[in-house]
Structure 1
C-alpha cells in the first residue's frame, strides 16, 4: 500500500476528480435506493402490516394479470377457503379508493373493509368506528375521538395507526358492512382474502379447490399495480447506475495504469513481484472507492434526513450501508479490468521504449 498511497498523493488532482465522480454516483444510488423503498412502502405498507401468512386474490381471466384492484371474492369462494386444510382463518378485506370527509374537507383515502372481530382487523375498529392511517393525519387534523364521514356515514376515529398506505393513498379501516354498500363491492364479499395458515396448508391444493390464487404476503405485493410499475422502473435505473459506475471506475483505472506503465516496468526490473503490484493496484482502487463512496453516502444520508418529510425516502441501514457496500464491490470488479496490464507489462520493452 505504500506505493499506492504515494501515487495517489502525487496524482491527487486526478484522484480527487475520480473520488468526486464516485461520490456523485454513490449519492445517486443511495438516494434512489431510499426513494425506491419509500415509494414501495407508500404502495404496500397496508398489506405488509397485515397479520396474515397468505393473501388470496381472484384468479384472472385468460390473458390478464393478477391484480388486487380487479379481484373480487365471492361468497362461495370464501366458504370453500375457510374449509381448506391448514387454514386457521380466512378474512375477506374489501379494498376501494374513495374520498372521506374530515370536518368539511374531502380527502382521498383507500377503504379497507374488514369484520371488526376478524383476526386481521386492527384493534379499535367497530360497527360505528374507524381506524385511520397516520398518513391521513399529516394532511388533516385528526385525533382519536374525532369523527369522519365515509359515503355519508359518520364514524368515530378509534385509533391512528402508523404508516398504512395502499397505492400511495392513506388507508381508512372501516367495517366491512359499510364497504359492501359501496359501488366497488359489486355484491362480492371482499377484494382479497387474508389467510392465517398452519400445518397442512398447501397453496396448490388451496388454489385448485377455491379457484383463487394464494401468495405469501411478500409475493402478493406484485399484484399491486402501482408497486410493480414503480419498483421495476426504479430498480432498473439503479442497476444501470451501478453498471455505469463499474464501467467508469474500470476505465479510469485502466487509463491510470497505462500512464504508470513506465513506473511498473521499473518496479518489475528491480525485482518487484507481480502479486505485490496487483495488491498495490487493488489497494489503490479500494482507497479511492472508500473515500469517494463514503463522501457520497454521507451526503446522501444528510440529504435524505433533510427531505424525508417532503419526499417519500427511507433512510436506514438497508438503504444506506447496503448500496455503499455494493458500490465498493462493483467498483473493485470494474478496477480488475486494469489488472491485465499490471500482469503483462514487460520491464525490458517498457524500459527500452522509455529510452
Structure 2
C-alpha cells in the first residue's frame, strides 16, 4: 500500500472530506438503529421475558393470534397441562390501564401472574410488583398505595425495568387481574396467554386440539400490532438509509478512482499486477472507511448515552458495531465497482487518455 499511503498523505483534504461524510452517515444510521432498538425494547421486553418454551394465545381465526384479542379459559389451561410432554403452564393476564398515586396518573400494563411466574411476582392478593420505570413515573416505593381502576393496592416490591407496548409493567396476582378484567367489561377472561414449558411436545397438534396458537417468543412478537407497524416502518427507513449510504459512498469512491486513473495506468504500464492494484485501492478505501466509521460509532456511543436519558435509545453492539460492519461492506463494494473499469482497461490506452 505504498502508493495508497502516499496518496493519503498528499491529498489530506480530500480524504478528510470523505471520512467526514462517512462519519456523518454512520451517525445517522447508528442513531436510527439505536432508536429502533429502543422503541422495540419498550414494546416487547416483557414478552421476551416470559418463561417457558412457547407462548400460547387464543386463536382469532383468519386474522391469526393477537395479544389484544386473546382470551383463554381454565378448560384450555387444563387441556395444555394434560398434553404429553408439557411440564408447566403459567397463565398470564394482560391489561393496559392506568395507575394512580396521589395526583399522578400513569399508563401501565397490568400482568396478572401466579407466584411461580417469577421470583419477584406478588404472592398475596392486593399487592403489586412495580417495574422500575413504573415506580419512577409514579414516585412509588415498597409500601406505597396505588389505585388501579378504582381499587387500591399495596406495592410489595419494585423489580427490574419491563415494558409492554410502550407502557411499564406492573405485576399483580392472577385473581386480581381477573377482578380487573371483570370491572372493565371482560368477566369471563381467565388469562390472555400461557407460558408453556415442555419437551418433545407436538406443539401444532396441541394448539389445534385446544383452539389456540403456540409460538416461540420471537414469533409471538408478531401478535403485537404496535410492534409490527412501528418496527416495520423504522426498519424500512434503516434499509433505505443503508441504500443511500451505498450510493453516496460509491459515488465518492468513483470520483476518487477517476482522479487516480493516470497513476493506475502508469503502474500497470510498469508491470504492476491487477491484484496488487486492487489490494492497494481497497486497502486505501478500507483505511478511510475504518477511520470515518470509527469516529461515527464513537459519536453515536457518546451522544446515545446522553439521548438514552430522555429517549428510548438502545446502545448495544447490534446498534453500533453491526451497522458499522455493514457500512464498511457497502463502502468496499462501492470502491470495488468503481475500480473495475480502470483495472480492466489497457494500460497504454489508459495512460494515453490520462496524459
TM-score, normalised relative to structure 2: 0.94
Residue 132 of structure 1 is aligned with which of 130, 133, 151? 130
| Equivalent residue, structure 1, for 2:158 | 160
- Residues 7-39 of structure 1 show CA distances to partners (whole Å, capped at 9, x for unaligned) of 123222221221111111111111111111111
Aligned counterparts, 1:269-308, within 5 A: 269-308=269-308
| Equivalent residue, structure 2, for 1:28 | 28
| Equivalent residue, structure 1, for 2:190 | 189
Contact 1:257-1:341 within 8 A present in 2 as well: no
CA distance in 1, matches of 2:187, 2:11: 71
After TM superposition, give the deviation of residue 244 of structure 1 in Å. Answer: 1.7
| Equivalent residue, structure 2, for 1:107 | 106
After TM superposition, give the deviation of residue 150 of structure 1 in Å. Answer: 1.9
Q: Secondary structure at the match of 2:291?
A: helix
TM-score, normalised relative to structure 1: 0.94
Q: Secondary structure at the match of 1:180?
A: helix
CA distance in 1, matches of 2:18, 2:65: 46
Contact 2:122-2:172 within 8 A present in 1 as well: no
| Equivalent residue, structure 1, for 2:222 | 222
| Equivalent residue, structure 1, for 2:322 | 322
CA distance in 2, matches of 1:233, 1:273: 47
Change (3 A) 1:229 1:184: farther
Contact 2:141-2:155 within 8 A present in 1 as well: yes
Aligned counterparts, 1:312-351, within 5 A: 312-351=312-351
CA distance in 1, matches of 2:145, 2:202: 43
Matched, 1:68 2:67: yes
Aligned counterparts, 1:138-287, within 5 A: 138-181=136-179, 182=181, 183=184, 185-197=186-198, 199-287=199-287
Deviates more, 1:294-303 or 1:12-21: 12-21
After TM superposition, give the deviation of residue 121 of structure 1 in Å. Answer: 7.1
CA distance in 2, matches of 1:33, 1:125: 39
Structure 1: which 5+ runs fail to align?
none
- Residues 231-285 of structure 1 show CA distances to partners (whole Å, capped at 9, x for unaligned) of 1111111111112212222222122111211111111111211111110110011
CA distance in 2, matches of 1:231, 1:332: 29
Count of paired positions: 352
CA distance in 2, matches of 1:146, 1:352: 85
After TM superposition, give the deviation of residue 120 of structure 1 in Å. Answer: 5.0
CA distance in 2, matches of 1:150, 1:186: 17
Q: Secondary structure at the match of 2:272?
A: coil
